[in-house]
Amino acid sequence: MKPNNVKNSQWWAYNALFITEHILGETLYSKIFGGAEQKLLRAIDEYASNKATDNDFHIIEYKKGESAEPMAHPYYPIVYRGAAADWPCQKKWTFDYFDQKYGDQDAPLLNSPGMVKENDAALTENLPLSYGVVKLRDYISNMRKGSKKYLKFWRIVDEQSSLRDDFDFDWLKKFRKPGAKNDLSYFFMGGKGSLSPIHSDYATTIFIQIEGTKKWTFYPINQRIFLGPRARRYNYFYTSADPYNLKDTRFPLLKHATPFELMLYPGDVLYFPSLLWHQVENVSDTIAVSYKFATFRAGLTSSKMLFTCFLLATKPWLITTILPWSKDAIGYKKEKV
C-alpha cells in the first residue's frame, strides 16, 4: 500500500523504475533512466509537500506482565518490556563473562554493504565486502577503548548449547508461523556509538536485549519511496539515508519519512515483521541476541515489490540463501568450547 501523500501514478512509476534497476543493474539503469527518476522525485516532493502524512503505523508496547503470550503483527513492531528479565542470560551474561569463558573464540566481523556507516573509513575500508576475525577478548578490549566496530550476526548461540540453554526458546518459538523456515540465533556485541544504518531484511526478527541500551528507529514499510534505497540485487535492502541529516541532497524525499523511535533496555524483547525498515544505535556498550525465521507469506504481505526482488536476488542467489538455513547444513549442534 502506498503512502497517502504520494499519487497512485507516482507510486506505480517509482516501483516500475525500482524493478527495472534491479534487472539492469545500477550503472546501466542510471544511464538510461536516471533523468526520468530525478524528474519523478521532484514531482513526488512537490506533491508530498502539500499533503499531510496520514499513517496509522505505531509501535505496540506491553509492560512487564501485561501479555504473557507472544503475538505477531504483519506490519507493526511489538515490544515486551521485561519479558526476558528472569532468563538465565540476563543473570549471567556480562562482558567479563564472555571475556573469561569465550575470550579465545574467533569472532567474525562482517561489514557487508549497507551494514556500516558509509562515511566511517575505519569500518568501510575493504567494502563492498569486508570480513575479518578477531579474538573475542581482543574485541572486548578494543570496544572498551572506544572502537566503533560492531560484532553482529555471530552464530555462537547456536554453536554452544550452554549459551542456548540461557534462553526460553519454547516461548520464542511461539512467534513462529506455519511454514516458517530456519530457526537461527545471532549474537550482537557493540560499543557505545556503533550502529547499523537503515536497512530491511527478509526474516521476521525477535530481538532480546541483554546488556546496555539500544535505540531503534523504525519506518513504515511503504516509506521506502522516501528513504531512497537502490535495487542492488542483494538478499537484503539498505539505504545511506541518515535520519539526522534531512538536508542530504541525495535523498530529497527523506524529509517526508516518519521515524518511530524506541529505546530497548536489558530484559526487553522486541518483535518486528519481515522487511520493516530500521536503524539500530548502541547508546551504551551492548550485548543482544536475535532469533530469526522466515516465511514466504510474511514477505509477500509486507511488500510485494521487495518480496519479488528478494526472489530475484543474485548476491547471493536465493538457493544459497535458503540451503544454509537447514540445521544439518549449519552444524547446529557443533561445540567449540
Q: How far is CA 244 from the centre of its chain?
A: 18
Mean pLDDT of 89-105: 97
Question: Is 263 a member of any domain?
Answer: yes
Q: Which range marks the domain in which residue 139 is found?
A: 57-325
Question: Is 332 a member of any domain?
Answer: no
Sequence-ordered list of residues with C-beta below 8 angstroms from that of 292, at least 6 positions apart, any chain: 182, 184, 185, 186, 203, 204, 205, 206
Question: Is 293 a member of any domain?
Answer: yes
Q: How far apart are CA 280 and CA 219, in angstroms?
A: 12
Total Cβ atoms within 10 A of residue 319: 7
Task: Report the predicted TM-score, pTM, of the whole model to 2 decimal places.
Answer: 0.90
Question: Is 241 a member of any domain?
Answer: yes
Identify the weakest region by mean pLDDT among 81-90, 131-140, 174-183, 198-207.
174-183
Question: Is 3 a member of any domain?
Answer: no
pLDDT tens per residue across span 253-308: 999 999 999 999 999 999 999 999 999 999 999 999 999 999 989 999 999 999 99
Task: Identify which of 254, 249, 225, 228 has the alpha carbon closest to the alpha carbon of residue 239.
Answer: 228
Sheet holding 60-62, edge to edge: 60-62, 78-80, 269-272, 204-211, 286-294, 181-190, 150-154
Task: Identify which of 171, 200, 207 has the alpha carbon closest to the alpha carbon of residue 298.
Answer: 200
Give the dihedral sign, CA 85/86/87/92: positive
Per-residue cell: 137: 577478548
User: Predicted confidence band at 227 (pLDDT cuts at 50, 70, 90)?
Assistant: very high
What are the Cα distances from residue 37, in Å, to 27, 207, 301? 14, 36, 26
Question: Is 188 a member of any domain?
Answer: yes
One-letter identity of residue 222 = N
DSSP percent split of the chain into helix, strand, coil, nearest 5: 35, 25, 40
Mean pLDDT of 91-108: 96
Mean pLDDT of 176-193: 89
Q: How far apart are CA 240 and CA 179, in angstroms?
A: 33
pLDDT exceeds 70 at position 172: yes
Residue 329's pLDDT is 34
Per-residue cell: 277: 525498515
Of 103 and 51, the structure prediction assigns the larger pLDDT to 103
Q: Which residues, listed in sequence order, are joined to residue 278 by a DSSP beta bridge?
A: 199, 218
For residues 45 and 252, is the Cβ–Cβ distance under 8 A?
A: yes
Quote the mean pLDDT of the chain: 89
Residue 320's pLDDT is 66
Question: Is 266 a member of any domain?
Answer: yes
Mean pLDDT of 244-248: 95
Question: Is 159 a member of any domain?
Answer: yes
For residues 81 and 64, is the Cβ–Cβ distance under 8 A?
A: yes
Residue 52's pLDDT is 81
Residue 235's pLDDT is 87
CA atoms within 13 A on the CB side of 160: 16
Q: Which residues, listed in sequence order, are joined to residue 264 by a DSSP beta bridge?
A: 214
pLDDT exceeds 90 at position 181: no
How many percent of the chain have pLDDT more than 90?
Answer: 75
Number of domains within the chain? 1
Q: What is the CATH number of the domain that holds 69?
A: 2.60.120.650
pLDDT exceeds 80 at position 120: no
pLDDT exceeds 50 at position 332: no
pLDDT exceeds 70 at position 150: yes
pLDDT tens per residue across span 314-325: 887 776 665 544
pLDDT exceeds 60 at position 337: no
In angstroms, the first-to-last Cα distance of the chain is 49
